[in-house]
Amino acid sequence: MQINSGTAVNQGLIGMQRSQAEMVRSAQQIVEAGTTQRDNPQANDLIEPLLNIQLQAQLFDSSAKVVKSADETIGRLLDTKA
């Protein structure tokens, strides 16, 4: 029986990286709305980037739980093998 937990760790890390990149993008939208685009009311809409930050934070946490579970599984397998 072969268990490839590296894939789970990699997928969790990829999810964390993507969520972080989306949070940075949303934060940049918020900054731009407050500084460079004052004359454009649609660009000043902060609701979408704020909601996206909240969503991405939840996705980040979920991905972190995947990494933690994979790590714990690897630890248990190593303990069992030893």
* Residues whose CB is less than 8 angstroms from the CB of residue 81 and which lie 6 or more positions away in sequence, other chains included: none
Domain boundaries, the chain: 21-65
pLDDT at 1: 40
Helix (H, G, I), strand (E, B) or coil at 3: coil
Q: What is the block-wise mean pLDDT of the chain (82 residues), using blocks of 10 residues?
A: 67 96 95 72 80 98 95 85 68
pLDDT at 56: 98
User: CB of 61 within 8 A of CB of 27?
Assistant: no
Q: Alpha-carbon distance 64 to 53, whole Å?
A: 16
Give the global pTM: 0.77
pLDDT at 60: 97
